[in-house]
């Protein structure tokens, strides 16, 4: 009998890559998703695999799975700013009630639980680069608060289950990740810039484009998550590529890569948009022996191929 893994948000960008990885590692995978922001096409290639099950379910409602479970990975949540701004209540519910349901299930099954936290717990950070012991600078009642505070609550609740119930828990703080299966219209900067460049439209940089991000290729992230899950480290761990770039430079890079004639134009900066973001990954190096293997340029190649098919078909 293969060991079973439950992956919530399994039809999403990251969740679907995790399904692939756990199947390749010899697990039986249950992907649970209500398709709020995900797409069944991300897991279509897995349908028919006897070691894969898809459960169409809202994890903010009571979660049940028959039989034993080895691991629960809670990845369900709207994740891009335009998604969570459109669905503030669902975002807060899946981060709070959804997490509570998954923790209860993990406790019942004696499973180890890993939650997808985020660099957004640092808010608009006043410390740079961000280390796990930085408590962050979040506006709880600002527009991004619905996501940031849901994730902060999710971390706190997960820690409480760990300390109070002795549940085996893991917390990954994910920094901006990219790769095939990102949604073209999710409003994040990478799909926005690539699709604009491929269509010959101007690239919309928000503000003056001087804000920074650090982009991680999805295969590196999945490897970091896999190692964290197997490790014995229960505190939060940053997983991200520390190669930082301004949004303006990133736009120029995309224009060059696509050979597009597009220009960069500037639009209003969204409220509370973090000015800088770069992970300190010394903890991941120390406890997981993990660091990214792909440069941004290497990761952009398969990502561009994926988007070309979507945009130009």
Which range binds ligand NAD by CB under 6 A, 157-165, 174-182, 195-203, 230-238? 174-182
240 binds ligand UDP (CB under 6 A): no
Q: Which does 38 bind (CB under 5 to 8 A by kind): ligand NAD, ligand UDP, none?
A: ligand NAD
Exactly one of 21, 28, 30, 38 binds ligand NAD (CB under 6 A); that residue is 38
Cβ distance to ligand NAD smaller for residue 176 or 303: 176
192 binds ligand NAD (CB under 6 A): no
Exactly one of 116, 171, 222, 254 binds ligand NAD (CB under 6 A); that residue is 116
Cβ distance to ligand NAD smaller for residue 118 or 303: 118
37 binds ligand NAD (CB under 6 A): yes
Cβ distance to ligand UDP smaller for residue 231 or 246: 246
Residue of 122, 147, 217, 294 marked active site = 147
Q: Which does 58 bind (CB under 5 to 8 A by kind): ligand UDP, ligand NAD, none?
A: ligand NAD
Distance CA 225, CA 153 (A): 20
Spell 100-115 as b/e; 16+ CB within 10 A means b.
Answer: bbbbebbbebebbbbb
Calculate the alpha carbon distances from 225 to 85, 155, 167, 178, 272 in Å.
27, 16, 18, 15, 28
Q: Respond yes or no: is residue 147 known to be catalytic.
A: yes
- Min dist. Cβ of residue 126 to ligand UDP (A): 17
Q: Which does 71 bind (CB under 5 to 8 A by kind): ligand UDP, ligand NAD, none?
A: none
Question: Tokens representing 127?
Answer: 């410390």
6 binds ligand UDP (CB under 6 A): no
Distance CA 223, CA 123 (A): 25
211 binds ligand UDP (CB under 6 A): yes
The 3-class SS string of 216-263 reads EEHHHHHHHHHHHHHCCCCCEEEECCCCEEEHHHHHHHHHHHHCCCCC
Exactly one of 205, 221, 237, 239 binds ligand UDP (CB under 6 A); that residue is 205
- Min dist. Cβ of residue 29 to ligand UDP (A): 27
Return the active site residues: 147
Residue numbers of the site for ligand NAD (CB under 6 A)? 8-9, 11-15, 33-38, 58-60, 75-79, 94, 98, 116, 118, 174, 176-177
């Amino acid at each position: 009998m293969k060991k079973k893994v439950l992956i919530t948000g399994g039809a999403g960008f990251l969740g679907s890559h995790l399904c692939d990885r756990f199947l390749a590692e010899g697990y039986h995978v249950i992907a649970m998703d209500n398709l709020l922001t995900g797409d069944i096409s991300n897991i279509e290639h897995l349908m028919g695999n006897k070691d894969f099950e898809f459960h169409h379910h809202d994890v903010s409602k009571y979660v049940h799975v028959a039989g034993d479970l080895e691991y629960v990975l809670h990845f369900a949540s709207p994740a891009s700013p335009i998604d969570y701004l459109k669905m503030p209540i669902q975002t807060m519910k899946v981060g709070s009630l959804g997490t509570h349901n998954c923790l209860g299930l993990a406790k019942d099954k004696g499973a180890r639980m890993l939650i997808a936290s985020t660099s957004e717990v640092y808010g608009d950070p006043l410390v740079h680069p961000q280390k796990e012991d930085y408590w962050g600078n979040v506006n709880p009642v600002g527009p991004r608060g619905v996501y940031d505070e849901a994730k902060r609550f999710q971390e706190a609740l997960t820690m409480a289950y760990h300390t109070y119930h002795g549940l085996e828990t893991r917390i990954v703080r994910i920094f901006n990740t990219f790769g095939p299966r990102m949604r073209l219209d999710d409003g994040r900067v990478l799909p926005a810039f690539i699709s604009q460049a491929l269509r010959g439209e101007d690239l919309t940089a928000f503000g003056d484009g001087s804000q920074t991000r650090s982009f991680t290729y999805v295969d590196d992230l999945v490897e970091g998550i896999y190692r964290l899950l197997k490790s014995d480290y229960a505190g939060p761990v940053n997983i991200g590529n520390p190669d930082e770039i301004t949004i303006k430079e990133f736009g120029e890079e995309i224009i060059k890569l696509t050979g597009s004639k597009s220009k960069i134009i500037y639009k209003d900066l969204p409220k509370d948009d973090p000015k800088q973001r770069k992970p300190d990954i010394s903890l991941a190096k120390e406890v997981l022996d993990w660091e990214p293997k792909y440069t941004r340029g290497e990761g952009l190649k398969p990502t561009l191929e994926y988007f070309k098919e979507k945009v130009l078909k």
